A and B are shown apart, each in its own frame.
Chain A
């Protein structure tokens, strides 16, 4: 079973609107959860992570994510989207055994 799932291949939002990119994880051990962004022809860049502590995690470029244990979710959010946020977003998870798993990615398009 996939450790991390991103149910949407594509998310489209208008500039200035809030955005959400969804991620759910399978329950096994303590989840270390991450979000990465990939711009065209570039490697992935780390955005934010949840290890322990506050469920709301703030990261780079105004992004945040909420760890929801009951729903096993870690959705990425931003209150006001920018055209420059258009990119490919990956949710990822590490386990205590040191195994990393990435979701299939979600392409975010922000239209002016």
Chain B
């Protein structure tokens, strides 16, 4: 256990559904990250939040919408996804530029 939790662990959704992924850390970290991991591209950085402010959006389609209400919680809102969005979505947190602590991921399947 790294101290970063993600829910749900598995999610199957249709292309017209709306769902949200949740990430939580109580490590006192100031930065939180969303990554997409798929067979095509091993690890893609999607979003970075530092002290609740988004500092990076890596050209992610608008059907992915992040939300960071406080330094401990990070959400990824999903709507009208495509089958190619099926992947493992990983959340991580860190203190400044130090090592990142990863959650177990959410395995997303879009039908």
Contact = CB atoms under 8 A, between A and B. Distances in A.
Interface residues of A, number: 22
A46 B101 contact: yes
A99 B102 contact: no
Interface in B92-111: 92, 97-105
Q: Majority SS of interface residues in chain A?
A: strand
B99 A43 contact: no
A94 B42 contact: no
A94 B92 CA distance: 14
Interface of B: 2, 4, 31, 33, 41-43, 45, 48, 50, 55-56, 90, 92, 97-105
Given A49-B99, A90-B42, A43 B50 contact: no
A53 interface: no
B4 A99 contact: no
B2 A32 contact: no
A44 B105 CA distance: 9
